[in-house]
Chains A and B, each alone.
Chain A
Amino acid sequence: MNPFWSMSTSSVRKRPDTEEKTLSGELRTSPLRASTKKQLPSIPKNAVPITKPASPAAASQSTNGTHASYGPFYLEYSLLAEFTLVVKQKLPGVYVQPSYRSALMWFGVIFIRHGLYQDGVFKFTVYIPDNYPDGDCPRLVFDLPVFHPLVDPLSGELDVKRAFAKWRRNHNHIWQVLMYARRVFYKIDTTSPLNPEAAVLYEKDVQLFKSKVVDSVKLCSSHLFDQPKIEDPYAIVFSPWNPAIHDEAREKMLTQKKKPEDQHCKSMHVSGLSWVKPGSVQPFSKEEKTMPT
């Protein structure tokens, strides 16, 4: 395993790192959501009470208005729900982060840990249609066109459609797209390719294919520290190892395993009330720990 990559795993950082330094560890925050909520004033300053006209026509119109005004909330929460599902999946080597500007655009990076594409670090962007979840399937575009039968050599777009011919709400989720994106690098499919050259080489001349892949991986690595393709505060940015920044974050990640237990003990005292014995359904069934004898 290349030590450089294992290091860079922890060196992934966001530019506005005022909060959530732990992107690379575990994507457990949905920054968009967290901040959306927390930014709210208790009583909005720029709000104006609007008295709507009470005529019947206006009333029906405003009904539509009412519904329309909640639409964005539904969309945003649907996407956040998708995001929490992604987090839950814990896909190995795959990290995503919704953009600052829009919940419909997610930045991601994928680390390939073995196989033909070993050591590959591919940044990508997921574009979600704005009529989600009723629209088409999301698009996934690599920042640099990876040499792969299913990746368009010009645009870098991955052929997602082949796996999700029809996007079905409740059945299809964005984490599946990400899982698919990871899998294509381990199990190579050459049928109806977007990059026919890669497909043919894989079929006919694996050695050449492999060397092209190595080149492609190297190319991607050499551009790793480039500025992100899309200007966004939440874009994923790589930087060389900087002990001042990264040592602390690394330390934190490595010590994190112990933490939950400590916290658990602490929180036992602070809050939460239960005297129910586990397995029992009777109140006050728990025995006192310090029963005097």
Chain B
Amino acid sequence: MSSGTSISKNRQAPSLQGVDPETCMIVFRTHWAQVLKILEKHDPLKNTQAKYGAISPDEASTVQNYVEHMLFLLIEEQAKDASMGPILEFVVSENIMEKLFLWSLRREFTDETKIEQLKMYEMLVTQSHQPLLHHKPILKPLMMLLSSCSGTATSTVETELVVLLNQLCSIIAKDPSILELFFHTSEDQGAANFLIFSLLIPFIHREGTVGQQARDALLFIMSLSAENNVVANHIAENTYFCPVLATGLSGLYSSLPTKLEEKGEEWHCLLKDDWLLSPALVQFMNSLEFCNAVIQVAHPLIRNQLVNYIYNGFLVPVMAPALHKATVEEVMTTTAYLDLFLRSVSEPALLKIFLHFILLHRHENVHILDTLTSRINTPFRLCVVSLALFRTLIGLHCEDVMLQLVLRYLIPCNHMMLSQRWAVKERDCYSASAAKLLALTPVCCSTGITLTLESQGKDYILWTKAAQTKDSGRRSSESTCIVEYGKAVDISYLQYLGEAQEAILQCLKDCKVWSALYDGVNPDPDTFIQTLAEENSTDVEHPMFRLQQRTPSMCSSSQVTPFGEKMQLELEWDDSYDTGISPGSDVSLPQPYDDLGNTEMQPPAQPPKHIQEMKKSAIMLIKGSYIEESDFQDDVMVYRLCAQKDTQDDDNTKEKTSNAAREHEVQSQTVVNGPLAKSQLEMDLDEHSKRNSSSTQGVMKEQINQKMTEIDPQPDLELKLSPQEADRNLSVRLLSTDGEDFIAQYDKIIKELDPNSASLEEQKLDTLIPVSPAEEEEDFENFSADTPSAESMPSPFGLKEDISPKHAARSQSAPFTGPFISVVLSKLENMLENSLHVNLLLIGIITQLASYPQPLLRSFLLNTNMVFQPSVRSLYQVLASVKNKIEHFASVEKDFPGLLLEAQQYLLFRVDMSDDAEELLTKGNVQHSSNTGKGRNLSEAYPAVLQPFLGQKGKKGLAHPGLPVHVRNAVLAAALFPEFLKELAALAQEHSILCYKILGDFEDYY
């Protein structure tokens, strides 16, 4: 029986209330005298025979009993003023605690004794009426006890140890003066400073209550460190706290399931309900949450160190390779994890490195962001998960994200006609854009269910006190809407307006801290291009992460030198890799490096994973992905390829072809006064690279090769591309893109080569139907202008001006709205083929984008009167195309009205379920109280009507189970489309009446 427990039992019984303190003192002294007698009997210094005489159980229990009473007296002693009470003074002067500790050491120092002692101290420090830890004679034996418990403790001891440590930390947090003493005592010990802290570190990642208590205790110290530089320095310089924490994440991550169990068709992101079921994930999330909390409270020194370790010890060496795993399944899982992490992290400093990682880190020379973007176009579930991730990213309202994703492509303003620049800031005073958007509602969709008001006996409809629901009742006055009696009013539209206002205001609020207005003037379009070129030539990594190179870091792979990048650029893709890959063969891909391993030393023969994946998706692309015409026009190469193919068809001999190629090499050598001789094809590539990141040249080359193998069955066709000088200055990263538009081009080539292909038929469809109502002002000519204009179609191997610097300059600033916009719009254009949940996510993303108040974004997405460059595809054009597709579909499908009605009913049914879903979604966020106002709750991002993914609950009423998938998808899309238009129109209208001038005090207003 341990004394600790018995003490706590006894303690409750007697009360010392009213007992004379002197009496207590006398009792204490006599008890101690008894104890001391026994102690001295066994003290080898005092008694030479002590060594040999075993301690009898009797003696042990006698000591225990006395000690119990003594401790009780000590605890109950009330101190007068600041002075010690007599008992405490006696304890201190007699060094009683140390003697007792030595006694327990002399007995067998078993786990039980340790627990006994730990409990004793815990009771002392928590229950004593006077501060005890200030006294060295008490503190010192405590520290000795603690250090004796470190290391080889069993779980029961650990439990007690952590409880005590937790108590100590909370005491220190309340009274920081004790902290000094802890430091000094441990100096005496000669052991590591700040023992309590070091003892806690091993428990950081522990699961269960022990881990939780340890983390809580550490947080006490962390918040202490914010005030105390000594502590902060000590932790940062002398302990392994940060590395343990960060690498622990890596360790825990590696034990996460690499595949998620099938969660149903609609599953697209990990909600709390999902991850609570996985113990490994719970443990990881606990640690991540702890990191978040540490960063929140700790000293900047610790915060920065931890953040750097997480970046270099977790994100770069673990997450990056995990995002590039071999199978789609694994990649999808990682993406879902990343999304979950992003949603869970609330501290800006931590979020910053996650975003830095996504936006700027390059894995095998490709930005993570580009890789993620390219995955939207895959036909797998991966697409949905990636979309969900982007939804999270966009919902952060973070300037850096939006800059990288969209805005940098819009800043130069060359997506619009020069004459239109003034219109960027223009407001749509008369809701003209909204009207045009709503006018896109297909005629066939206006049948079916419309929510209208029951007729009322009033001249106008009063929306009176209707909203007791969400708004906290702050606005209780009545108001009206000028809707006259008898007119059908689409009340769902009112709801969209309300939600649009909320979304815009939230976004506006968050964007107040942004560095620029993005209104076509600030940042200045012209200086933007210049500075970008300059900044690019130096190509600086962020100083924060460069600094990291000096400190020993977990990983070596993070620091890819510019030189290394260049080396990789010059790698060639081997044709042999093109042959083996077929749609289903992802498993067969060898994996040349392990997850945590070294990614630098990648064998040159192996194309990077993402390239393989892109290629796979290129092959698997069922329907045409859409490209911006500019890509096409500028992309002389594609045509050259066709031309080359023609010539090959003509003489169909390998020699001739290679001769031709050699000829061009010669030609270009003479013509181009560039630093390096380049083949004609390379020049094209180069030209292309002016718009694209150099890495994509690899993709391109690969596709060329692939193309070649397809065009010409001769396996040993030699169209070797000589190592290429990557012109870093020209390949402006601003215009970096990734593979998907090449994939699109690839698709186009197939189209052209094979007139019977499905995509061509689709294309025909487009042209058959009159594209737009007569009222449209837009020039729809360019809509289906798949055929390039004469000037952009160079004669094979031809025109020199195509490669002249002049042309280069033009193509460098060629209108391009960025890979993300283009991939999202292309996906949207295929709305009828997409499944419901893909469409819901797409709609969510686009409405999120359209909620941003930045004039550049707003004018691009919502201003239907804006005149863009012919090569730029606007949202409006895409919507018009979808409209036509729906109308065509309605005319072909026999029972369209009936199906539409069912689809609408199904969607309404989903709305009914949305409240539950909202809960689910918000629960998924591990938000810290200080940061809840961020608008990152997914549910806030888009309206209830389109609330997707009601998860398990929404399943029962699945629409049209009997229908073929493509019909079902199309009908659901048709039902969704008008709602989407309303949502956009509502956003356009709300934007038009926002008073940006009064931004400063719109809180009153909201």
Contacts and interface: CB of A to CB of B under 8 A. Distances in A.
Interface of A: 16, 18-19, 22, 26, 28-54, 58-60, 62-63, 65-70, 72-78, 80-85, 87-88, 100-104, 133, 169-170, 173, 233, 256, 259-260, 263-264, 267-284, 286-288, 290-292
A87 B492 CA distance: 29
Contacts of A267: 509, 512-513
Most buried by B among A16, A78, A87, A264: A78
B477 A16 contact: yes
A66 B446 contact: yes
Nearest to A58: B447
Nearest to B441: A66
Contacts of B351: 273
A100 B510 contact: no
Given A42-B470, A87-B995, A267-B512, 6 more contacts: A39-B464, A70-B490, A72-B489, A279-B523, A283-B360, A284-B542
A35 B439 contact: no
Interface in B471-503: 471, 474-484, 487-495, 497-498, 501
Interface stretch (B174-182, B396-404, B700-708, B746-754): B396-404
A150 B427 CA distance: 33
A288 B471 CA distance: 38
Contacts of B593: none
A67 to B, nearest CB: 7
B986 to A, nearest CB: 9
A66 B933 CA distance: 37
Nearest to B349: A288
Contacts of B304: 288, 291-292
B451 A70 contact: no
A74 B985 CA distance: 10
Given A28-B998, A41-B466, A82-B429, A275 B993 contact: no
B411 interface: yes
Nearest to A292: B301
Contact of A271 (B509, B528, B535): B509
Contact of B480 (A48, A101, A283, A291): A101
A108 B87 CA distance: 82
A102 B483 CA distance: 10
Contacts of A292: 300-301, 304
Given A70-B493, A263-B1001, A35 B535 contact: no
A72 B483 contact: yes
A65 B304 CA distance: 61
Contacts of A256: 1001
Contact of A48 (B454, B934, B1004): B454
B966 interface: no
B1005 to A, nearest CB: 6
A62 B447 contact: yes
Contacts of B403: 276, 281, 283
A73 B497 contact: yes
Contact of A268 (B397, B463, B513): B513
A54 B443 CA distance: 11
A102 B482 contact: yes
Contacts of A54: 447-448, 897
Nearest to B513: A272
B893 to A, nearest CB: 13
A52 B448 contact: yes
Contacts of A268: 513
Given A40-B495, A42-B944, A73-B493, A35 B1005 contact: no
A72 B482 contact: yes
A103 B470 contact: no
Given A73-B497, A274-B515, A283-B400, A40 B467 contact: yes
Interface in B22-45: none
Contact of A50 (B450, B467, B497, B515): B450
A281 B488 CA distance: 49
Given A70-B490, A74-B430, A276-B403, A103 B516 contact: no
B933 A34 contact: no
15 contacts: A18-B477, A31-B477, A35-B478, A37-B497, A40-B498, A41-B469, A42-B470, A52-B450, A59-B447, A66-B490, A78-B430, A169-B429, A260-B1001, A274-B398, A278-B516
Interface in B426-461: 427-431, 434-435, 438-439, 441, 443-444, 446-454, 460
B994 interface: yes
Given A30-B993, A49-B450, A292-B300, A87 B479 contact: no
B513 A36 contact: no
B463 A39 contact: yes
B38 to A, nearest CB: 55
Contacts of A19: 474-477
Given A46-B454, A60-B443, A77-B434, A275 B399 contact: yes
B911 to A, nearest CB: 7
B509 A59 contact: no
A35 B515 contact: no
B435 A74 contact: yes
B498 A37 contact: yes
A271 B934 contact: yes
Contacts of B493: 69-70, 73
Contacts of A170: 429-430
Contacts of B469: 41-42
Given A47-B451, A169-B430, A270 B477 contact: no
B799 interface: no
Nearest to B547: A291
A46 B995 CA distance: 32
B535 A282 contact: yes
Contacts of B356: 283-284
B495 to A, nearest CB: 6
A291 B544 CA distance: 10
Contacts of A81: 427-431, 992-993
Nearest to A40: B498
Contacts of A279: 515, 523
A53 B447 contact: yes
B532 A281 contact: yes
Contacts of A84: 993-995
A69 to B, nearest CB: 5
Contacts of A78: 429-431
Contact of B479 (A32, A73, A80, A83): A32
A39 B446 contact: no
A225 B673 CA distance: 86
B93 interface: no
B662 interface: no
Contacts of A48: 451-454
Interface string B354-371: 011001100000000000
B961 interface: no
B596 interface: no
Nearest to A39: B463
A267 B991 CA distance: 22
Nearest to A78: B430
Contact of A275 (B352, B428, B897, B934): B352
A36 B481 contact: yes
Given A69-B489, A87-B995, A273 B513 contact: yes
B656 interface: no
Nearest to B236: A292
Nearest to B399: A274
B993 A49 contact: no
B994 to A, nearest CB: 7
